[in-house]
Chain A
């Protein structure tokens, strides 16, 4: 990387060949850093160059990339993020799972923008990074342990308690298809099974301590730009009050009131007991503190305590967590999947299942949604106790906790759950109970009630996901402007705008929640001050578009077609039975052709040669 002119990036990456147990330090490809900025973008470019899209996700030939952005580790508000990029075993598509906390910044302080893992270690190992000391160490003594015990053990044995640790739990080791990678015990690169890829490589953890500096190109401009952004966040209602007071769980009552809160595996779109699992209820009865990721001036994280009576309920045998101590969460999506989607109204059950997901290393969205699908199968008599080992009825906290533990260890019926709800539904010949896209489960918004979300889910490059096109922001919350959630008009353009902007923000190392309180006009000068490269708003959005198209191209080479850009039959044909959105179905077929056209893609959803040339994608 050119000396002195550029900043933000360290300009170095680590390449770890697990098969040969060899570690190399490489220069970051500067041309790619300029075109794709960082994180999700640069990592996707490396994956595109180095991994055959047809690879088996759990084979040694798949690579696992941890990538920060140029703003990770700077003082930019919410510049804490890193992205895990690989081929996801749940979907078979490129996946880009994002996490906060302080692991990403610590990697930057150690002197690296990215780590690329390739091959497979013969025995369990963990990677130890202390500035320029980088080594693979045996992890046989950690294998089988939960994330919490792994962290505590590594903190003690490395002698540097300030190190940051990203680890897998038993679920990743057992290749649960929605296993997560968890850092600081409660922050997770959650979706699409990145933890299973890590487990398949026999890589238990990455512990990193960095004492170096992240240098920016224009230090004073950096502080001025951050000062302006911090003030925006202090002035905007969502980032100064909503998120700090209630966390993302503020959405529970809001989405429910719109009749868009999927309940009992999307059989209903309103949960009559949503208040009992809302952000307001958590704050009144269980919140100990809010908590920030590194450099975050919003602090939406929840530090919570289970109620006194909840401590004794729902026997847990697989976690070392002391339930009298504080735990974290739940986020809105998790409280929905483990709560409303399973018909469960007990915050203690949700908090325990959520904590188990962190300790055992699983994505609570896919887990909860898969248990919900199993509950529907059970209640319809498709499966019974002889398969499940216990009653699986909507509303049962006991079933939720037991199934969470069994899924992580693939024990009994847990072996079916560990495959995710698509494979579960197919196995029992009921494909229509799978609620998701490209093999990945939906998050907490019914696409029949919020039309833009249906288009966003169907076209997301990593399967159903709320973070790829959070049109809820415009359709429900009214940011940046209010649009009608029931209408399909203009939704193609809306989804594309959200996709491109979110992707660009992901590439910088910033958190998407910033966009609830500030705009690209504030983010752009921060990126420019850090990197020394001036992009205007259109160029920054173009970066997002470039990354989006690259991911799309990679997926098509993996075998995806326009036929995969769809929603389950229940969303397209079965109307919402009750509530404010009664009678609605997703009108995806009306939106999708517009979406392809406005993207510059063919009617078959293929990016045109002209579009790819324009974006500089080979």
Chain B
């Protein structure tokens, strides 16, 4: 397996299963709290005292990208994240089938594929995590909300008014 680059660094041993990451992720995308549309997921295995947060590892083979028939998945030149281009995506789900990690999702509300894009390099999930179980190298833990305000408000208007759905 090739080296991973520019991905979330997840330490399951620090996870408490609180799902603040799922809440933050859905908030960034929709301005609402909707874990079912989060692109990071936490699986809780109680009797084994084990928590498994997982999100796209941004693998270099990027089978999702190779499988896409309309070139709707591209590499963000700044972060290395593989990102879905909403305008190009036709909702065919070939990427979902191709991904060996199960970390690219089909969103039936938008009829498009959805995956972690590392929030342009400053992931909300990492900020929301109370135990430091999610990290990205080089990210400043300062007032990260500045960069989100406008995009979240527009996402929220879309969610409330139903804009953007096909």
Contact = CB atoms under 8 A, between A and B. Distances in A.
A73 B130 contact: no
A326 B46 contact: yes
Contact of A219 (B20, B49, B131, B152): B152
A325 B26 CA distance: 34
Contacts of A234: 130
Contacts of A214: 32-34
A220 B20 contact: no
A299 B47 contact: no
A331 B32 CA distance: 33
Most central of A185, A227, A234 by chain B CB within 10 Å: A227
Contact of B18 (A184, A289, A297): A297
Interface string B143-163: 001001100110010011000
B23 to A, nearest CB: 4
Contact of B27 (A75, A230, A325): A75
Interface string B125-152: 0011011000000000000010011001
Contacts of B103: none
Interface in A476-516: none
A288 B50 CA distance: 9
Most central of B27, B127, B148, B160 by chain A CB within 10 Å: B27
Contacts of A301: 16
A328 B31 CA distance: 35
Contact of A230 (B36, B48, B130, B149): B130
B78 to A, nearest CB: 24
Interface residues of A, number: 45
Contacts of B131: 299
B123 to A, nearest CB: 14
A301 B50 CA distance: 13
A291 interface: yes
A615 B153 CA distance: 37
B47 A219 contact: no
A328 B46 contact: yes
A364 B30 CA distance: 42
Interface in A318-352: 322, 325-328
A215 interface: yes
Nearest to B50: A289
A294 to B, nearest CB: 6
Interface string A161-188: 0000000000000000000000011100
Interface string A275-305: 0000000000000111111111111010101
B17 interface: yes
A109 B30 CA distance: 14
A289 B49 contact: yes
B34 A223 contact: no
Interface residues of B, number: 35
Nearest to A296: B18
Contacts of B114: none
A233 to B, nearest CB: 8
A212 interface: yes
Interface string B1-25: 0000000000000001111100110
Nearest to B45: A326
Contacts of A216: 32-33
B159 A297 contact: no
A288 B49 contact: yes
Contacts of A292: 16-18, 130
Contacts of A212: 34, 36
B145 A227 contact: yes
Given A219-B152, A288-B49, A294 B19 contact: yes
B91 interface: no
A288 B13 CA distance: 11
Contacts of A289: 16, 49-51
A220 B145 CA distance: 8
B18 A219 contact: no
Contacts of B31: 215, 219
B35 interface: yes
A213 interface: yes
A296 B46 CA distance: 16
A299 to B, nearest CB: 4
B130 A75 contact: no
A597 interface: no
A4 interface: yes
A224 interface: yes
A605 B45 CA distance: 50
A211 interface: yes
Contact of B148 (A211, A213, A223, A293): A223
A213 B49 contact: no
Contacts of A219: 27, 31-32, 152-153, 156
A109 B17 contact: no
A530 B2 CA distance: 44
A297 B130 contact: yes
Contacts of A327: 47
A303 B145 contact: no
A474 B52 CA distance: 39
Nearest to B127: A227
A213 B20 contact: no
A265 B48 CA distance: 36
Interface of B: 16-20, 23-24, 26-27, 30-37, 46-51, 127-128, 130-131, 145, 148-149, 152-153, 156, 159-160
19 contacts: A75-B27, A184-B46, A211-B34, A213-B33, A216-B32, A219-B156, A220-B145, A223-B145, A227-B127, A288-B49, A289-B16, A289-B50, A291-B49, A292-B18, A292-B130, A293-B18, A296-B18, A299-B130, A326-B46
Given A213-B37, A292-B17, 8 more contacts: A4-B160, A214-B33, A214-B34, A219-B31, A289-B50, A292-B18, A297-B18, A303-B46
